[in-house]
Amino acid sequence: MPAPTAALKPVVDDTPAINATLPEPDHDGDFALEGMNDLPEPTALQAPATAQDEDMEVVDEEDRPHFPQVQNDDGSFRIQSRKVPVPPHRFSPLKTAWPQIYPPLVEHLKLAVRMNIKYKAVELRNSKTSSPGALQKGEDFIRAFCLGFDVADAIALLRLDDLYLETFEIKDVKTLQGDHLARAIGRIAGNQGKTKFAIENASKTRIVLADSKVHILGAYKNIAIARSSVVNLILGKPPGKVYNNLRTVSARMKERF
């Protein structure tokens, strides 16, 4: 028995070699490969996704994503219309300010507008050239004017996207009747409207007092500041303390900018 460390003898295969012919390659599969060179490169297929990712990464000053405007690619168009009722006490001001009302709707939003005298309403209709949200903006603009806001203040709803309308009643904050309700309205307005103007200037909003209803136009955070001041006045807080709070809030807002 040889030692484990001894070199092993090479194994010799004594079987005779058989001349086997290799099978010819099958060319049937070449037909499935036709047109492979015509396919675009992988980078070209991923280009649209990369461009979309770049659009998704665009943010504004408040770190909010900016999405591209939705476009109607299928070519379908549907006519939509809105009818905004006008209160009786605002129909005469609507007639007077009509030359200043319809140009922004027609030229800026590309809407078809008409004033229906029979039904006391303003009718809006979209067109192929108008943007998807133009009809809603036009309705908000007419509704803001019907609530009592000036035309110059209501036009801001058409030009800015972060403006909103908020309406609440004094009775929603505190149940007041008779003279108590009248005094609460007087505290909100102030002498010759000074308190209301102070709240508007400090919070950068617009306020309309219509009987026991309060309408506020502005950005979301600014509406919260104005609403807090109005609620404090309704609850009976002295106007001097409200002024001090407004000074503090306005100073903080200036520091942010």
Name the one residue in this structure whose structure tokens are 């026991």.
Answer: 212
pLDDT for the residue 228 = 92
Spell 83-101 as b/e; 16+ CB within 10 A means b. Answer: ebebeeeeeeebeeeeeeb
pLDDT for the residue 65 = 77
Please write the tens of the pLDDT for every residue from 15-60.
555 555 555 555 544 444 444 444 445 444 444 444 445 445 567 6
Its pTM surpasses 0.75: no
Measured between alpha carbons, how far is 221 from 224 in angstroms, rounded to an integer?
5
Measured CA distances, 86 to 65, 117, 136, 236, 239 (Å): 38, 10, 16, 34, 35
Please write the tens of the pLDDT for every residue from 131-155.
778 888 999 999 999 999 999 899 9
Please write the tens of the pLDDT for every residue from 221-255.
899 999 999 999 999 888 888 888 888 888 887 77
Please write the tens of the pLDDT for every residue from 180-190.
999 999 989 88
Helix or strand or coil: residue 13? Answer: coil
More confident residue, 256 or 29: 256
pLDDT for the residue 14 = 57
Quick one: tokens of 63? 């770190």
Q: Inform me whether the pLDDT recorded for 9 exceeds 70.
A: no
Rounded to the nearest 5 percent, the helix, strand and coil shares of the chain are 50, 15, 40
Question: Average pLDDT in the 52-74 region?
Answer: 62
